[in-house]
Structure formats: C-alpha cells, structure tokens
Amino acid sequence: MRVRVTTTAIGLTAAAILALPACSTGTTETKPASAPSTRGEKPATAPLPSAALEARLLNASDLGIGYTRKPERPAQQDDVTVLDCPALSDLGGDAATGGSLDFPRKAKVTFVYAGGSNSEVSEELYSDTAAKLSEGTGRIFDAMTGCPQYQVLVGGTAIDMTTQEVAAPQLGDEQWSQLLTFSAGGRDTVVKQTAIRSGNVLLIVSGSPALVDLHLDQAHAKATAAR
C-alpha cells in the first residue's frame, strides 16, 4: 500500500536521516516500553510562543566542549512513498513521516559532536494545548512502532526501516521513545527519538542513542524551567 507525502518535520522524517553519518547496528539493550504516564497533570495553560521556546533550547555552552551548532537547512520537500505499513498509510498526508508534529509554535536546534562518527543530536520544542500535543505525538509514535519493518522511497532512494519501542525515562506527564534503523546503500544508521510532554510543552530529542541518553535530562530541565 502506498501513500504520497511530503517531508516536513525533521524529527520523524526519513529524508533528514540521509544526512546522518553511518553507524553500526550492534546489539542495544532495551527494556519493555512503559505506558505513558499521566501523573501530576498540571492545569491547562496557554501555548507558549515560538520565541519563548527558542529561549528554552539547549545551546553549545550547555552541552560542553566539542559541540557545534549545525546551521539550519531549508525544509526538505522531497516526495516520500511509504510501503508495507498500513498504520502509517491510514494516517495519510504528512503524518506518515511526522508532519503532524509541525505545530505552529516550535523551535529547533541541532548540534554536531566532534567526538564520534555518529555525532548529531537534535532538540525540538513544541507548544500547544496538552490534549493536542498528547494526541498528535501518541498517534505518530504508535503508528511507527506498530510497523516493525517497512520501506520508504525518498525521491529515488529506497530506505528499509525498522522500528522498536523502548523504555522512556519517567519525566514530565507523558513519554514516548523508539529506536529507528535506516538502511540504504549498504549503510545502517540507528537513531533514537525520545519525546516528553510536560503540560503544554513537548520536547523531542533525536540522534545518536548515546547522545540522546546523555542530554535528555538536561534538555527537559531547561525546557520546563519557570520563566
């Protein structure tokens, strides 16, 4: 089954991964994924403007020596065909590759670390009502992890995809986490994506699994600090 989509949100798009260095797909120890937590839900508050989200992003000095901010590139507009994943096909449109996470209020930054070959880590912040963030994020993660194997065609490039839901740290009000393996041209690239919703703010950290694990707590603390 095929669905034509346009890549927009780098956090969950295959096209963005084509720019990442290759890495080994060695065994990764995981634990059973935990169900989203709804503990300590806060009263509804107005969504934050993009400028406020920008101020809550990590910067190079937060991360330490060896990190450089990567210049942003124009949004990719490559046509994408999703194969062999009815759950994603059912979403239709941009949602099949994460476009539904393109909430109007957003901020993003990507860093390159000089200490390894698979060395990128990206942070994205979104703000909307808690209900919209919860529904949109859960829908995408559930669809992607519901298809352990599928394929996407980005322009003329075929990418074999595997997804695996993994345990997310108990931060915020809801949590999602997955490992994505992109295989193309004889190369395998493993990317970890962890999303944390805290009230009306959604944090997504993506990239090298080791770097995501290293900086997630720090990113969450800064994203949710009172201002």
What share of residues in the chain are helix, strand, coil (percent, to 5)?
A: 25, 30, 40
Q: What is the mean pLDDT of residues 7-16?
A: 36
Per-residue tokens: 48? 């934050």
Mean per-residue pLDDT of the chain: 78
- Going from the C-alpha of 4 to that of each of 10, 88, 95, 162, the distances in angstroms are 17, 11, 11, 20
Give backbone dihedrals phi and psi of 56, rounded to 5 degrees, phi first.
Answer: -95, 0
- Is pLDDT above 90 for 128? yes
Kindly write down the DSSP assignment for every residue of 116-159, as one continuous string.
-SS-EEEEEEEES-HHHHHHHHHHHHHHHHT-SEEEEEETTEEE
Assess contact for 56 and 107: CB atoms under 8 A: yes
Task: Provide the pLDDT confidence category of residue 72 given band limits of 50, 70 and 90.
Answer: confident
Determine what percent of the chain is predicted with pLDDT higher than 90. Answer: 48
Residue 222 neighbours by CB under 8 Å, 6+ apart: 56, 57, 58, 62
